[in-house]
Amino acid sequence: MNSDIQGIHHTGILTRDLDGLERLYTSFGFTLSPRSRHLLSARPGEPPVPGCTANRCALFGGAYIELLGIVDESAPDPWHTKAMADQYEGFRLLNFDTDDPETVSRRLEGAGLRTSGVLDLERDVDTEDGTRTVRARAVHVDPRATPEGYLGIAQHLTREYVHQPRYLKHHNGAYGLSGVLVVADDAEFDAITDRYTHLLQATPTQNGPCTSLDLAGGRLEIVRASDAEQVLPGEPAPAPSYLAAMTVLVHDVDHARTIVDSNDVPTRSTPHGFFVSARDAYGAGLFFTNTP
């Protein structure tokens, strides 16, 4: 495994109804960071400009879940988020963590994957010492090459302003994001698996119907669409290939399930915890487990 990608940086759920999305995830017991508007650059070297999106995040100290909303349809959209939402809303973004985005970008370009180059992102956030600017750098893979979702590799420059201790304690006991499940159209399965194998420089292993790629910080699993019913029974399929679910680590599965159940959201038992359908979680299946 190459050290230029360490693990999952964050997952992203996209919506035009950020108010509703944040209400639901708060009711699931997540503590969310305050809403923050994005400043985005369209091309490498260009200064960030105010964009059409804002977010709130469920932060775990390492990876996090981004609740990403289009909040101003008239604002610039340098990262083409509105086009993404026009296709469908839900679990659309997956970013891996790096400390060296330039090297990753060169490596991906050398492997025949077009990238955006290294882009800058900024957003102002409230801290206990006043307003500070979060700064990050990201490499986006050309989405025409990733039918399952919008793929990026990101670097924190000001991690301390994102993962503030006051936002890391969750009522549901969540403390980490350990995995992502991708459903791949049967005809695209080999190409998608090969792409992630080379991208992550990880050795694939078989885990039931899923092919697993393990990283220092998280796991990516890929399942053929024809086998998806075995791990995601009855789940919606928004596209032939798609980001289907993420796994949230919690200290006490029963406690977390009680919180979700108290909101009349259906849950089903799994071997290591419980599952909330994408139908009931704004397009993102949620596995809750206390088993890394």
Asked if 109 and 92 sit in the same domain, the reply is yes
Tens place of pLDDT per residue across the chain (292 aa): 446 999 999 999 999 999 999 999 999 999 999 998 887 766 777 777 788 999 999 999 999 999 999 999 888 888 789 999 999 999 999 999 999 999 999 999 988 899 999 988 888 888 999 999 989 999 999 999 999 999 999 999 999 999 999 999 999 999 999 999 999 999 999 999 999 999 999 999 999 999 999 998 899 999 999 999 999 999 999 999 999 999 999 999 999 999 999 999 999 999 999 999 999 999 999 999 998 8
Clarify whether residues 198 and 145 are in a common domain.
no
Based on the fold, state whether residues 158 and 194 are members of the same structural domain.
no
In a domain, 186, yes or no: yes
Q: Identify the pLDDT of residue 264.
A: 95
- Residues 147 and 264 grouped into a single domain: no
Tell how strand 130-141 and strand 115-127 pair up. Answer: antiparallel
User: What does the alpha-carbon distance between residue 163 and residue 65 come to, in Å, rounded to a whole number?
Assistant: 12
In a domain, 2, yes or no: no
Assess if residue 109 is contained within a domain: yes
The structure's pTM equals 0.93
124, 142: one domain: yes
Residues 91 and 233 in one domain: no
Judgement on whether residues 188 and 97 belong to the same structural domain of the protein: no
Asked, for residue 61, whether it belongs to a domain, the answer is: yes
Domain contains 276: yes
Give the whole-angstrom CA distance, residue 200 versus residue 2: 7
Question: Residues 161, 28: one domain?
Answer: yes
Q: Which of 213, 224, 169 is nearest to 31 (CA)?
A: 169
Is residue 68 domain-shared with residue 115, that is, in the same domain? yes
Q: Which residues pair with 143 in a beta bridge?
A: none
1 falls within a domain:
no
pLDDT of res. 215: 92
DSSP letter for each residue of the chain: --TT--EEEEEEEEES-HHHHHHHHHHTT--BPPPEEEEE-SSTTSPPEEEEEEEEEEE-SSSEEEEEEE--TTS--TT-HHHHHHH--EEEEEEEE-S-HHHHHHHHHHTT--EEEEEEEEEEEEETTEEEEEEEEEEEEPGGG-TT-EEEEEEESSHHHHS-GGGS--TT-EEEEEEEEEEE-GGGHHHHHHHHHHHHT---EEETTEEEEEETBEEEEEEEGGGHHHHSTT---SSSSEEEEEEEEES-HHHHHHHHHTTT---EEETTEEEE-GGGTTT-EEEEES--
Residues 124 and 86 in one domain: yes
Q: What is the pLDDT of residue 1?
A: 46
Side-chain half-sphere exposure of 245, counting CA atoms within 13 A: 26
Provide the residue range defining the domain that includes 36: 7-167
Q: Give the domain-ending residue among 121, 147, 167.
A: 167
The domain spanning residue 209 has which CATH number? 3.10.180.10
Predicted local distance difference test score (pLDDT) of residue 80? 83
Residue 108 within a domain: yes
Same domain, residue pair 155 and 185: no
- In terms of residues, how long is the chain? 292
Domain count, the chain: 2
Decide if 115 is inside a domain: yes
* pLDDT given for residue 12 in this prediction: 97
Of 133, 167, 201, the domain-final residue: 167
Residues 118 and 153 occupy one common structural domain: yes
Of 141, 167, 193, the residue that ends a domain is 167
